[in-house]
Amino acid sequence: MNKLTQFYGTAVGKKFVVAVTGIMMAGFLVMHMIGNLKAFAGATKLDAYALYLRDIGQDMFGHETVLWIARIGLVVAVVAHIFTIVLLVKQNHKARPVKYHVKKSFVSTFPARMMRVSGLLLLIFIIVHIAQFTFGEWLSTPFEEGKVYSNISHAFGSGWLPWFYVFMMFIVCIHLCHGLWSFFQTLGIDNPDRNKLLRGLAIVVSLVLFIGFSAVPVAFATGLIGVAK
Amino acid sequence: MELDSKIPNVPIQEAWRAHIDSINLVGPKNRPKYDIVVVGSGLAGASAAASLGAMGYNVKLFCFQDSPRRAHSIAAQGGINASKNYRNDGDSTWRLFYDTQKGGDFRGREANVYRLAETSTQIIDQCVAQGVPLAREYGGNLANRSFGGVLVERTFYARGQTGQQLLLGAYQALEEQVALGKVKQYPRTEMHDIVKIDGRCRGIVVRDLMTGEIQTHAADAVVLATGGYSNVYHRSTNAVNCNVTAAWRAHKQGSLFANPCFVQIHPTCIPVHGDNQSKLTLMSESLRNDGRIWVPRKKGDDRRPRDIPEEERYYYLEERYPSFGNLVPRDVASRAAKKVCDEGYGLGETGFGVYLDFRDAIAKHGKDVIEAKYGNLFDMYKDITDDDPYETPFKIYPAPHYTMGGLWVDYNLMTNVPGLYAIGEANFSDHGANRLGASSLMQCLADGYFILPQTIGDYLRDIYQQKIEEDHPEFAKHAEAVDEKIDALMNIKGSRTPLSFQKELGDIMWNYCGMSRNAEDLKKELELIPALRKEFWSELKVAGTKDSFNQSLERAGRVADFLEFAELMCKDALERDESCGCHLREEHVHEDGEAKRDDEKFSYVAAWEWMGENVAHQLHTEQLDHQALKPTTRSYK
Amino acid sequence: MNFILSIWRQASPEAKGKMVKYKMSNVSEETSLLEMLDMLNEKLTLKDEEPVAFDSDCREGICGSCSLVVNGRAHGPGKLTTSCQVFMRSFTDGQTIHLEPYRSAALPVIKDLVVDRTSLDRIIQSGGYISAHSGPKPEPNSVPIGYDELEESMDAAACIGCGACAAACPNGSAMLFTAAKIGHLGLLPQGQPERSSRAKAMVQQMDDEGFGACTNYAECQDACPKGISIKFIGRMNKDFAKAMLCDELDPRGSMDAN
């Protein structure tokens, strides 16, 4: 334990925590997106998939156990990610008490400079999102436990909500463009040989997530796939 | 005054060992009882402080820069010599000794030079062990390059940043000792005086450059590693803050100043472009390995260099010195450049510049090879001049660079003031009348890592149990005198800035005591300098206050010392009525323009003693003993 | 050429500073930025005003003394350059040039454009060395070092300790400085015995000095006069994590028999 607290006590240690929790969340997003895309396979398939998630490992550990472990793991990652970043931001603020009169950046990318803003937006989004689809009735859309397809079709069928989601997915994309590559850089996995590849990979994965996540709300909003009867 | 160099009376090959075996040492248990002050944090100062700290002495290190790592040793580009004979080309301790003595035109002290050559290989071992990244070949062995004035390849290097890497090695060793509490470092602190008690040097007076506070530090021995005085010319290759102050103030306390007129003018520097220029940038001598130096045969030829055909180019070094060609020693190359420019062949509007051309080398080896060897130098030149040396030749001209003269020291590196040592460029001993390229780094590290740490015990044992603290009245007296001098500078309140005086002095020195000298000019200069000094003390204007961070005051103090020192330099140049190494007296040249020595009369070290304000210096001489190497006419033809 | 200079003036570490404007005219384009400041200081001295304090020494880009932030850029326009190697030809006639000191809690202003960089010395003191006291050492060729390995180490060793990385970093972080030293020594066989302890101590010291953390902006790499790559930061992180998490706490301890 002593080792870990000492490690976490340094800026580099904190960066490691941010990187590792970040990649955990990114991994979750990929699974989430694949699950979402089942909407295109129809209501039955999607609802069955939702049930299946609750049943993973049921025979051995009992109903929803694995799901809850995953959920707790995810919550821990989110909390650790945010908490650590707050500490780092505080450290960084303290490190530059007097600001420059002429403030310019030269090579840092737009996503990199936006990390704090995009992160904050995502935090708000996550709260909205969970309130809406996990805990139910919110934004006055009809909600029924277990009827996933129906729930989302009501939510995305019309109005501004699907476009809010698309915008938020764009923020996810921006956050990950820098975040995914940063994971490799922070852990010292990146090097000049694979820098282009890893930078590219980060952008491709971010774009795939953006497209994949946006596809479902756009499809409902435009009527490409139907609203559940 | 009898100058006792303390060199043992044995053949020079055995002198160092015999000396070490015969002197006193201080045991490890007693070393923490001694306080040693080191002034200057370049290669010599940092390596000495680190070594002495590691041995167990209590060391205080002072430098005027904000960190010891910034000392001007950092700027040495080309390399460091060592007679490792890795190239199997006939190198040996003797060969390095011979080259250094011959390069110095037989005005160096044989035993010192031989010791330097002996120590050279250990320096490389030491630096590699410290993690200095000296260049390697593909097989993993150390690489070498060649330098001017020698026929073997013995120069070790770290790209074009050898001085920097060696200094960082010494600086890191120093910082380790700081962390261990054995060395205390005082950056942004300038030495103003040494304190002598009962004839021995017992401490220093310094000014904290951030607060202006005058402090005193008592010590059992004081080591000056304060570099050279090329900035007496104002524009030189030295850092803008390099100065003679520490050495000069020690001199005024009785320490003899030896051979002050020996100043090396480096042949490959970027020419002067304008009056406001603050310094001259050196391009490493290693460029002469592959570059060819030439001027157009037609005077005032204003064609682009690329358009001038081969037969209209005057490769004056290759024509005049066929066996060494572009790799003649620095003094020879500098004077040759001056000669062609004086004859009217010089380049551009000023007429002070010659070409250093890589066209043929790029054609022969390819751009890649040249870039790998000299890339950073090419980039540096382009940054400064906006010309691309891959496309058009470098323009170069000589500039003041290194000073062979310095405080007189004996074989222990101690000045004639007991307890006061001088190491590195600050002393005079090893380079005679001209220094070969890549030898100054070698000398600084030999002094700091290997010689001083072993010889200092001889003196310290001698003063055992005579502790003196800062409360001794002499310290207060000296501190008061320093304060008064600062007040004097502040209170002139005239109309000229310190920089304007430094510029004027620099011009006088360059014109009358520069690359070639004659009695008439020197006599004239000996009238000009006191006049300028008088004006300085009546017309100077220093900005700010004395008890704050004040760069104007810092410069004023340094210029005041240069103004006194310059006079001694001219006096020495006038007195040395011969030509030798870089000291060329126009009255004494061979028919071909080469320096003509007078060994009968001048085979000595001229050591000058300060006799008081407005009293003429007294000359003491130390006859040079040429037991191993009989002086011959230096020829690089 | 003519310029308007807007310069940070601060009388002492405690004093409050502000930007002050000065006019400079008839500056030739081959004048360096620092030479222009010299000219300004000559003028100010003669007018009985306090000259602008700024650090500089070698004026050839190697000592690391000069430390200006010019128009929001550490060391000014151009790449791979130091403040002293900036020439007026890189500005346009009539331009306003803003000169500020480095801004970092660990590099406090002493006066005007001069900052205190002893924090960087203390980072080196914490472990930026190979312990090898002076004296006879083994023959260097007995430990061959591959060409590329050596050159990579040299890439990192080229750091001049100017602190521009911390000035340019939006977080005021000195990671590149610290990483360069850890990289230089960690890549050499001579540096292996102290590799772990060095990484641990130097990273810790960097935090203790009050520098910020890394957000992988790479502004430091862009401002670095020696072009030191952020790959060394990754290397440092790896060395540090390995030292902290993988190395045994008590490698020489014993274990109970039952």
| pLDDT confidence bin for A70, thresholds 50/70/90 | very high
B465: pLDDT strictly greater than 80: no
**Domain co-membership, C10 together with C100:** yes
Q: How far is CA B448 from the centre of its chain?
A: 15
What is B578-602 written as a DSSP string?
S-BTTB-BTTSB-TTS-B---HHHH
Task: Tell which residue, B268, B242, B396, B161, has the closest CA to residue C59.
Answer: B242
Interface touch C223/A106, C-beta < 8 Å:
yes
Structure tokens at B521: 């000019």
CATH number at residue C123: 1.10.1060.10
- The residue type found at C137 is K
- Least reliable range by pLDDT among B84-93, B239-248, B279-288, C125-134: B279-288
Greater confidence (B465 vs B35) lies with B35
Which range of residues forms the domain containing residue C139? 118-249
Task: Tell which residue, B353, B337, B360, has the closest CA to residue B290.
Answer: B360
Interface touch B67/C135, C-beta < 8 Å:
no
Task: Tell which residue, B38, B624, B582, has the closest CA to residue B260.
Answer: B582
**Domain co-membership, C95 together with C191:** no
pLDDT of residue A228: 52
CATH number at residue A91: 1.20.1300.10
| pLDDT confidence bin for A130, thresholds 50/70/90 | confident
Residue B623's alpha-carbon distances to B415, C36, C242, in angstroms, are 17, 49, 63
pLDDT of residue A136: 60
- What would the pLDDT profile of B15-72 be if each residue is shown by its tens digit? 999 999 999 999 999 999 999 999 999 999 999 999 999 999 999 999 999 999 999 9
Distance in angstroms (rounded) separating the CA atoms of residues B202 and B198: 9
Distance in angstroms (rounded) separating the CA atoms of residues B577 and B597: 9
Task: Tell which residue, C210, C163, C176, C158, has the closest CA to residue C68.
Answer: C163
Domains and CATH numbers, chain B: 266-401 (3.90.700.10), 473-600 (1.20.58.100)
Neighbouring C-beta atoms of residue B85, cutoff 10 Å: 18
What is chain C written as a DSSP string?
--EEEEEEE-SSSSS--EEEEEEE-S--TTSBHHHHHHHHHHHHHHTT-PPPP---SSSSS-S----EEETTEET-SSSS--GGG-BGGGS-TT-EEEEEE---TTS-EEETTEE--HHHHHHHHTT-S----SS----GGGS---HHHHHHHHHHHT-----HHHHHSTT---HHHHHHHHHHHHTSGGGSTTHHHHHHHHHHHHHHTT-----S--HHHHH-TT---THHHHHHHHHHHIIIIIS-S-TT------
Question: Is A65 inside a domain boundary?
Answer: yes
- Three-state DSSP class for residue B606: strand
pTM, whole model, 2 decimals? 0.96
Greater confidence (B579 vs A1) lies with B579
Question: Is C256 inside a domain boundary?
Answer: no
**Domain co-membership, C123 together with C207:** yes
A229: pLDDT strictly greater than 70: no
Parallel, antiparallel, or unpaired: how do β-strands B58-62 and B80-81 relate? unpaired
Work out the average pLDDT over A93-122.
96
- Spot the catalytic one: B115, B235, B320, B330: B330
pLDDT of residue A1: 66
**Domain co-membership, C40 together with C126:** no
Contacts of B140 in chain C (CB under 8 A): 141, 144-147
- What would the pLDDT profile of C43-90 be if each residue is shown by its tens digit? 999 999 999 999 999 999 999 999 999 999 999 999 999 999 999 999
Task: Tell which residue, C71, C213, C69, has the closest CA to residue A8.
Answer: C213
Distance in angstroms (rounded) separating the CA atoms of residues A227 and A156: 9
Task: Provide the shortest C-alpha distance from residue A116 to chain C (in Å).
Answer: 10
- What would the pLDDT profile of B231-259 be if each residue is shown by its tens digit? 999 999 999 999 999 999 999 999 999 99
HSE (CB half, 13 Å, CA atoms) of A187? 14
Question: Is A229 inside a domain boundary?
Answer: no
**Domain co-membership, C88 together with C146:** no
Residue B477's alpha-carbon distances to A152, B204, B215, B467, C15, in angstroms, are 91, 12, 12, 19, 34
| pLDDT confidence bin for A41, thresholds 50/70/90 | very high
pLDDT of residue B1: 82
Which range of residues forms the domain containing residue A63? 2-222
Work out the average pLDDT over B292-296.
95
Parallel, antiparallel, or unpaired: how do β-strands B292-296 and B313-314 relate? antiparallel
> In residues, how long is chain A?
229
Distance in angstroms (rounded) separating the CA atoms of residues C227 and C106: 22
Structure tokens at B296: 């157009």
Task: Provide the shortest C-alpha distance from residue C110 to chain B (in Å).
Answer: 8
Neighbouring C-beta atoms of residue A50, cutoff 10 Å: 16
Structure tokens at A156: 């995305």
Judge whether C55 and B239 are in contact, CB under 8 Å: no
**Domain co-membership, C79 together with C141:** no
Work out the average pLDDT over C142-153.
96
Interface touch C126/B179, C-beta < 8 Å:
yes
Task: Tell which residue, C64, C124, C106, C202, has the closest CA to residue B171.
Answer: C124
- Examine chains A and C and say if they touch (3+ CB pairs below 8 A): yes
Q: In B23-109, where does DSSP find H-type helix?
A: 43-55, 93-103
Judge whether B420 and B100 are in contact, CB under 8 Å: no
Task: Provide the shortest C-alpha distance from residue B379 to chain C (in Å).
Answer: 10
Interface touch C132/B172, C-beta < 8 Å:
no
The torsion defined by the Cα of B449, B436, B144 and B287, in degrees rounded to 10, comes to 130
C171 vs B: CB within 8 A:
no
- What would the pLDDT profile of B354-396 be if each residue is shown by its tens digit? 999 999 999 999 999 999 888 878 988 998 888 999 999 999 9
Rounded mean pLDDT of chain A?
91
Q: Which residue has the tokens 């450059």?
A: B209
Please give the tally of structural domains in chain C: 2
**Domain co-membership, C92 together with C122:** no
Contacts of C57 in chain B (CB under 8 A): 65, 70, 72, 239-241
Work out the average pLDDT over B298-312.
91
Domain boundary among C110, C141, C169: C110
Task: Tell which residue, B570, B569, B589, B592, has the closest CA to residue B578.
Answer: B589
Contacts of B171 in chain C (CB under 8 A): 124
Burial class (CB in 10 A: 0-12, 13-18, 19+), A173: buried
Interface touch B72/C57, C-beta < 8 Å:
yes
Task: Provide the shortest C-alpha distance from residue C63 to chain B (in Å).
Answer: 5
Question: Is A227 inside a domain boundary?
Answer: no
Distance in angstroms (rounded) separating the CA atoms of residues A172 and B629: 80
- What would the pLDDT profile of C4-37 be if each residue is shown by its tens digit? 999 999 999 999 999 999 999 999 998 999 999 9
Active-site residue B330, yes or no? yes
| pLDDT confidence bin for B593, thresholds 50/70/90 | confident
| pLDDT confidence bin for B302, thresholds 50/70/90 | confident
The ipTM of this complex is: 0.97
| pLDDT confidence bin for A141, thresholds 50/70/90 | low
pLDDT of residue B92: 97
| pLDDT confidence bin for C187, thresholds 50/70/90 | very high
**Domain co-membership, C7 together with C81:** yes
Interface touch C235/A188, C-beta < 8 Å:
yes
If phi > 0 it is left, if psi is from -120 to 50 it is alpha, else beta; for residue A7 that is alpha
**Domain co-membership, C123 together with C229:** yes
- Tell me, what DSSP letter sits at residue B435? -
pLDDT of residue A138: 61
* Mutation target among C62, C184, C204 for the B interface, most CBs of B within 10 A: C62
Judge whether C199 and C182 are in contact, CB under 8 Å: yes
Which 3-state string (H, E, C) describes B208-268?
Answer: ECCCCCEEEEECCEEEECCCCCHHHHCCCCCCCCCCCHHHHHHHHCCCCEECCCCEEEEEE
- What would the pLDDT profile of B335-357 be if each residue is shown by its tens digit? 999 889 989 999 988 888 999 99
Judge whether B332 and B293 are in contact, CB under 8 Å: no
**Domain co-membership, C94 together with C171:** no
B20 vs C: CB within 8 A:
no
* Mutation target among B383, B385, B489, B550 for the C interface, most CBs of C within 10 A: B383
Work out the average pLDDT over A4-10.
95
Distance in angstroms (rounded) separating the CA atoms of residues A202 and A154: 33
End-to-end, the C-alpha distance of chain B in Å comes to: 41
Question: Is C131 inside a domain boundary?
Answer: yes
**Domain co-membership, C171 together with C88:** no
Helix (H), strand (E) at residue B367: helix B367-385
B3 vs C: CB within 8 A:
no
Task: Provide the shortest C-alpha distance from residue A76 to chain C (in Å).
Answer: 21
pLDDT of residue C212: 97
Please give the tally of structural domains in chain A: 1
Residues of chain A with pLDDT > 90, as a percent, come to: 74
Distance in angstroms (rounded) separating the CA atoms of residues C176 and A115: 21
* Mutation target among A7, A12, A87, A102 for the C interface, most CBs of C within 10 A: A12
Question: Is C255 inside a domain boundary?
Answer: no
Residues of chain B with pLDDT > 90, as a percent, come to: 86
Structure tokens at B147: 């330098």
pLDDT of residue B376: 79
Contacts of C182 in chain B (CB under 8 A): none
Please tell me which chains touch A, using 3 or more CB pairs under 8 Å as the contact test. Answer: C
Q: Which residue has the tokens 């000589």?
A: B398
Q: In chain A, where does DSSP find H-type helix?
A: 2-8, 11-36, 43-55, 58-61, 65-95, 110-113, 115-133, 148-156, 161-186, 195-221
Distance in angstroms (rounded) separating the CA atoms of residues B602 and B624: 9
- What would the pLDDT profile of A190-214 be if each residue is shown by its tens digit? 999 999 999 999 999 999 999 999 9
Structure tokens at B14: 């055995």
Contacts of C140 in chain B (CB under 8 A): 124-125, 128-129, 134, 142
Q: In B516-616, where does DSSP find H-type helix?
A: 519-539, 551-575, 599-602
Interface touch B450/C32, C-beta < 8 Å:
no
Distance in angstroms (rounded) separating the CA atoms of residues C235 and B285: 36
Neighbouring C-beta atoms of residue A11, cutoff 10 Å: 23
**Domain co-membership, C57 together with C158:** no
Contacts of B64 in chain C (CB under 8 A): none
Question: Is A160 inside a domain boundary?
Answer: yes
Contacts of B385 in chain C (CB under 8 A): 30
B72 vs C: CB within 8 A:
yes
| pLDDT confidence bin for B595, thresholds 50/70/90 | confident
The torsion defined by the Cα of C231, C235, C236 and C237, in degrees rounded to 10, comes to 100
Task: Tell which residue, B637, B257, B291, B264, has the closest CA to residue B439.
Answer: B264
Across the beta sheet with B200-208, the strand order is B189-197, B200-208, B214-218
Residue C32's beta-bridge partner residues? C87
Task: Provide the shortest C-alpha distance from residue C103 to chain B (in Å).
Answer: 17
A140: pLDDT strictly greater than 60: no
B89: pLDDT strictly greater than 90: yes
Cα dihedral sign for B161, B162, B168, B169?
positive
Distance in angstroms (rounded) separating the CA atoms of residues A177 and C142: 47
- Tell me, what DSSP letter sits at residue B577? -
Of A97, A102, A188, the CB nearest to C234: A188
- Examine chains B and C and say if they touch (3+ CB pairs below 8 A): yes
Residues of chain A with pLDDT > 70, as a percent, come to: 94
Work out the average pLDDT over A9-26.
97
Question: Is C171 inside a domain boundary?
Answer: yes
